Amino acid sequence: MTNGAPLDITDLPTALQAHISAFLPLHDARLSTSTSTGMRELLQDAGMWRGLAEQRRLEAARLQESAAVVDEECKELRTKLSAKLADIRPSLESAMFALDAINKKDIYELRAMRTPPSPVIKTMAGVATLLGATDTDWDSCRKLMANPDSFLSSILGFDKDSISPEVLARAVKHLRDHDITPEGLPTAARGFCLWVDGIQQYNAEAGKVRAWRDEMNQAQKRADAALAEVKAAVAEAEYAEAQAARVQSKHDEAPTPTSAAMTSCEIACA
């Protein structure tokens, strides 16, 4: 800002604008004076601006410390998330590996069963439940497998992160209520049993992941807000420092009044 230019406070926070606006009329009058009293008051104004700048610098430092604490919190949450994701990845990979072993021939074989063993029915009922089916009797499951390619595609594209806890509980209940294990099932049904079990294990831990991710997002918002406050405080300090320099320059460039010259001591103490 050049000497003599009007003060522009429109970009400052509302609270600071109000503080400065109350002072500006008197300050502007002082800038136009060349009396001894006016010069002394200009020095007082410069001191006011320097004091405000110091106060905002201190506030910026305090806010920076707070921002650093929140940033550290974000880092810890990211570390937790990475570790938890590493823990649950094997169960999901195991489930998808089991599906890789299934081919269309296995599905045709399953679908051809008119009265399969109860464990097979319950396993496929669990699969159908995860896929959103409301009817999970054997005839309904057979219809679901009518197109093996489409059936497998719906499973491979299954959104494991959007399943509701209620649907997952119903799907797993089909298997748990009958103590079904993969080892006693035909090849295709075995793979689907492992898939349902893998989805259940993944979601058991994914709930913690989602909670931590939400917590981290909130912490990141707090960190961003703190950094914005730091930036604002620094900008306010820079503004006040510029005004102090402007007022000091106005004083230094003015002719020294002969009637009441100010000593260097008075200038230093103003």
Is 269 domain-assigned? Answer: no
Q: What is the extent of the structural domain holding 186?
A: 89-223
Q: What is the pLDDT of residue 199?
A: 86
Is 103 domain-assigned? Answer: yes
Q: What is the pLDDT of residue 245?
A: 85
pTM reported for the whole predicted model: 0.51
Residue 136 belongs to domain with CATH number: 1.20.920.60
Per-residue pLDDT tens digits for 193-252? 888 888 888 887 777 777 777 888 888 888 888 888 888 888 888 888 887 888 788 777
Overall average pLDDT of the 109-119 stretch: 91
Is 114 domain-assigned? Answer: yes
Is 38 domain-assigned? Answer: no
Confidence of residue 143 (pLDDT cuts 50, 70, 90): very high
Encode burial over 229-268: b for 16+ CB neighbours within 10 A, e otherwise. Answer: bbebbbbbbebbbebbbbbbebbeeeeeeeeeeeeeeeee
Give the residue carrying structure tokens 């001591």: 265
Nearest-angstrom CA–CA distance, 37 and 97: 88
Non-local CB neighbours of 102 within 8 Å, separated by 6+ positions: 152, 187, 188, 191, 192
Q: What is the pLDDT of residue 26?
A: 52
Q: What is the pLDDT of residue 137?
A: 95
* Count of domains observed in the chain: 1
Overall average pLDDT of the 141-158 stretch: 91
Is 78 domain-assigned? Answer: no
Share the mean pLDDT of the chain. Answer: 77
Q: What is the pLDDT of residue 36?
A: 54
Between residues 37 and 72, the one the model is more confident about: 72
